Amino acid sequence: MTELDLIPVWISLKTAATATIITFCLGIAAARWMAGSSFRGKSIIDALFILPLVLPPTVVGFGLLLLFGRNGPIGQVLMQFDRNVIFSWSATVIASTVVAFPLMYQATLAALEQIQPNIEDAARTLGASEWVVFHKITIPLAWPGIAAGTILAFARSLGEFGATLMLAGNIPGKTQTIPLAIYFAVEAGHNSQAVYWVLAILMISLASIAALNYWKKRQYSGNGSKFTGWEEVPSHAGHKN
Amino acid sequence: MLDIKIKKSLPEFRLDVSFSVEHEILAIVGPSGCGKTMTLKCIAGLFPPDEGLIALNKKVLFDSRTGINLASRQREVGFVFQNYALFPHMNVFDNVAFGIHQLNQFGNKVIRERVSNLMHKMHLGKYEKRYPGQLSGGQQQRVAIARALVTEPQVLLLDEPFSALDSIVKESLQDELLDLQKYFAGHVILVTHNLAEAYKLSSRIAVYDAGRILQWDDKKAIIDQPANAGVARLTGVKNLFNGVIEEAGSTYTLINIAELRGLFRAESKSSVKFIKGQQVGVGIRSDHIKLTEESGKNTVPVQVKKIVDEISGNTYHFSAVAANGLETKLEAKIPHRQMEKINIGASCYLHLPPNNLVIMSR
């Protein structure tokens, strides 16, 4: 019986947090772009954004391998800078980000489409710049959807297995996240070791959901107000998948 | 003075209008989907017209020839939306104060004072801390008007501001708007599909249809002397006929109306001169038609077809026989107190008073 190894926990947290931050920014940017425009081929791009969610993670991982591999387009560019992401910690972040992105994107898009365009127009006529409209009106009104998307994206990156294994491999101390560690521990017959990690991931998941729920509730409904408008926003927006 | 001359292609029609507003309330009246709201959005900078010019006094807001297109925030135009469009995550005070904060000119104390003053004037003082969702429709619309006025814009655009309110609230809010000039000296454009509302609140009316202005005139002229049958129909003239000018005198006109099988005299106030033999439209409002028992000048024999009982009086639907033997429908509104005993199927005469009979070009 080995001592409790916390390194996978640390790698998982670092990976999920980084992937969530990247997804948060990319997801909101992509959703805002899609919500505010209509062009030919919009539905194709929309489908492309959601694709990682419907594809099996191993397919996503394989696709990423092709992209980032030595002969892949991105891999070639990285080679110029003498870099290689395959089987590195960055690969775990890339895999998690790609897989979590559709959840963030979808939840945010649904929330943005829920906002009456008149409300943003009203702010514009009152002298607000596009940036003020975005961060004073759009983001607060879409907040429940954004928060839900963030929770889901974090949970998804924390649990990411297939694409990570394909792109980052299972290198203990480097790319071995909790899900990978659990799988290989069980495979090697170290069940008690696996249980520790299962408990660890359970605690992280519960804590993050609790924290984000608190965050979601606190934001903009603080100082004792009774703003109840959010009930109209479907908080299940991102759950349907 | 606010000058508007814009063209814009829309899926259903082409918006092509030109008018101006001069420290007054101008009402734009027309059926839904005729380009009224689009006009306001073009003025506010929320939609660019394809071509044209929008100028506020000497300041050009939009000019397709020089490529000027000021952003909404630079136009000093207040916009009140049909569905209020309040910020649901801000309380009433923050909603009203939003515009002043964007000016970046005043400290919190001045903002507080200006917002409170305006809210007090608009009877909103006690709702400061409430959220839009906790207010009634009328209160929300008052907040929306206060929010638009607090930055002291040059222009106030009202897009069907009363259409979602019940009639009691609507009337009191309309009365408040009539007092608006006490604290607002700019130009006001009111978009509505309700002619009574337009007449009550405005000094001039522009009648829209399918992207064009059919008539732009003093409100009284719109009612008394519609320019054509389209305006007459949109402003609620129920009785419209085709006629031929028989005699055009200096104070009166004689028209032959085949649909009513007779010669009718009109004492028009119109400056337009008609000539003998000209094809014209003739109209009369249903509340101007009088019921009589005997034949006489400007009368037409009719039969009662239908009676509709309403608060203000009865609406009678009649039919007359046209020259070609077909049936002509007429409608008259008669107040209860003037009501005579008359039943469906009864025959009587309708008198069309010469000074209420309007002649329009076709």
pLDDT tens figures, A66-85: 999 888 899 888 888 888 88
Q: Which of B72, B83, B104, B106 to mutate to test the interface with A (most CBs of A within 10 A)?
A: B72
Residue A180's Cβ-count burial label (10 Å; 0-12, 13-18, 19+) is buried
Q: Do B98 and A126 touch (CB under 8 A)?
A: yes
pLDDT at A224 over 50: no
Q: Rounded to an integer, what distance in angstroms lies between the CA atom of residue B134 and that of residue B249?
A: 63
Q: Do A116 and B131 touch (CB under 8 A)?
A: no
One-character DSSP codes across A190-212: -HHHHHHHHHHHHHHHHHHHHHH
Mean pLDDT calculated for residue range A173-181: 92
**A101 and A71 in contact (C-beta within 8 Å)?**
no
- pLDDT, one tens digit per residue, over B195-247 is 889 999 999 999 999 899 999 999 988 888 888 888 888 888 899 999 998 88
In a domain, A235, yes or no: no
> What Rg, from alpha-carbon coordinates, does chain A have?
20
User: Dihedral angle at the C-alpha atoms of A226, A229, A233, A234, nearest 10 degrees?
Assistant: 50
Is-above-0.90 flag for pTM? no
Query: Which CATH number belongs to the domain containing residue A158 in this structure?
Result: 1.10.3720.10
- Which residues in chain B are contacts of A225 at CB distance < 8 A? 91, 131
pLDDT at A226 over 50: no
Distant-in-sequence, close-in-space partners of A241: CB < 8 Å, separation ≥ 6: A53, A54, A102, A103, A106
**From B96, which residue of chain A is nearest by alpha-carbon distance?**
A126
Q: For chain A, give the percent of residues with pLDDT over 70.
A: 88
Confidence grade of residue B271 (pLDDT, cut at 50, 70, 90): low
pLDDT on residue A230: 44
Please give the residue that has the higher pLDDT: either B95 or B165: B95
Q: Rounded to an integer, what distance in angstroms lies between the CA atom of residue B221 and that of residue B270?
A: 9
**A152 and A238 in contact (C-beta within 8 Å)?**
yes
pLDDT at B48 over 60: yes
Q: Rounded to an integer, what distance in angstroms lies between the CA atom of residue B294 and that of residue B62?
A: 61
Q: What's the domain range around A17?
A: 7-230
Distant-in-sequence, close-in-space partners of B193: CB < 8 Å, separation ≥ 6: B29, B30, B31, B32, B36, B160, B163
- Considering CB atoms only, which of B78, B87, B91 is closest to A119? B87
**Pairing verdict, β B358-361 and B279-284:** antiparallel
One-character DSSP codes across A119-156: HHHHHHHTT--HHHIIIIIIHHHHHHHHHHHHHHHHHH
**B62 and B231 in contact (C-beta within 8 Å)?**
no
- Which residues in chain A are contacts of B85 at CB distance < 8 A? 116, 118-119, 121-122
Distant-in-sequence, close-in-space partners of A171: CB < 8 Å, separation ≥ 6: A87
Q: Do A118 and B103 touch (CB under 8 A)?
A: no
In a domain, A190, yes or no: yes
**From A138, which residue of chain B is nearest by alpha-carbon distance?**
B87
- pLDDT, one tens digit per residue, over B118-150 is 898 888 889 999 999 999 888 999 999 999 999
Structure tokens given for B325: 């033997």
- pLDDT, one tens digit per residue, over B318-337 is 888 888 888 889 998 887 76
| Amino acid at the residue B62 | F
- Which residues in chain B are contacts of A116 at CB distance < 8 A? 83, 85
- Which residues in chain A are contacts of B147 at CB distance < 8 A? 122, 126
B261: left (phi over 0), alpha (psi -120 to 50) or beta: left
Residue owning tokens 């501001």:
B161
pLDDT on residue A84: 85
**B311 and B305 in contact (C-beta within 8 Å)?**
no
The closest of A222, A135, A174 to A14, measured between CA atoms, is A174
pLDDT on residue A219: 59
**B168 and B162 in contact (C-beta within 8 Å)?**
no
| N-term to C-term CA, chain B | 33
In a domain, A236, yes or no: no
Mean pLDDT calculated for residue range B342-359: 87
pLDDT on residue B293: 81
CA atoms within 13 A on the CB side of A52: 26
Q: Which of A118, A125, A134 to mutate to test the interface with B (most CBs of B within 10 A)?
A: A125
In a domain, A15, yes or no: yes
Q: Rounded to an integer, what distance in angstroms lies between the CA atom of residue A105 and that of residue A35?
A: 11
**B52 and B6 in contact (C-beta within 8 Å)?**
yes
Q: For chain B, give the percent of residues with pLDDT over 70.
A: 98
- Which residues in chain B are contacts of A220 at CB distance < 8 A? 89
Structure tokens given for A69: 């591999």
Number of domains in chain A: 1
**B38 and B8 in contact (C-beta within 8 Å)?**
yes
| N-term to C-term CA, chain A | 39
Mean pLDDT calculated for residue range B290-306: 86
pLDDT on residue A231: 40
Interface of B with A (CB under 8 A): 41, 44-46, 71-73, 75, 77-79, 81, 83, 85-89, 91, 98-99, 102-103, 131-134, 144, 147-148, 151
In a domain, A134, yes or no: yes
Buried b (16+ CB within 10 A) or exposed e, B194-204: ebebbbebbeb
Q: Do B131 and A122 touch (CB under 8 A)?
A: no
Confidence grade of residue A223 (pLDDT, cut at 50, 70, 90): very low
pLDDT on residue B270: 65
In a domain, A1, yes or no: no
Q: Do A126 and B133 touch (CB under 8 A)?
A: no
pLDDT on residue A1: 42
**B173 and B165 in contact (C-beta within 8 Å)?**
yes
HEC-encoded secondary structure of chain B: CEEEEEEEECCCCEEEEEEEECCCEEEEECCCCCCHHHHHHHHHCCCCCCEEEEEECCEEEEECCCCEECCHHHCCEEEECCCCCCCCCCCHHHHHHHHHHHHCCCCHHHHHHHHHHHHHHCCCHHHCCCCHHHCCHHHHHHHHHHHHHCCCCCEEEEECCCCCCCHHHHHHHHHHHHHHHHCCCCEEEEEECCHHHHHHHCCEEEEEECCEEEEEEEHHHHHHCCCEHHHHHHCCCCEEEEEEEEEECCCCEEEEEHHHCEEEEECCCCCCCCCCCCEEEEEECCCCCEEECCCCCCEEEEEEEEEEECCCEEEEEEEEECCCCCEEEEEEEEEHHHCCCCCCCCEEEEECCCCCCEEEEC
A187, containing H or E segment:
helix A178-187
In a domain, A39, yes or no: yes
**B174 and B142 in contact (C-beta within 8 Å)?**
no
In a domain, A241, yes or no: no
- Which residues in chain A are contacts of B86 at CB distance < 8 A? 119, 122
Q: Which of B70, B102, B135, B149 to mutate to test the interface with A (most CBs of A within 10 A)?
A: B102
Please give the residue that has the higher pLDDT: either A213 or A108: A108
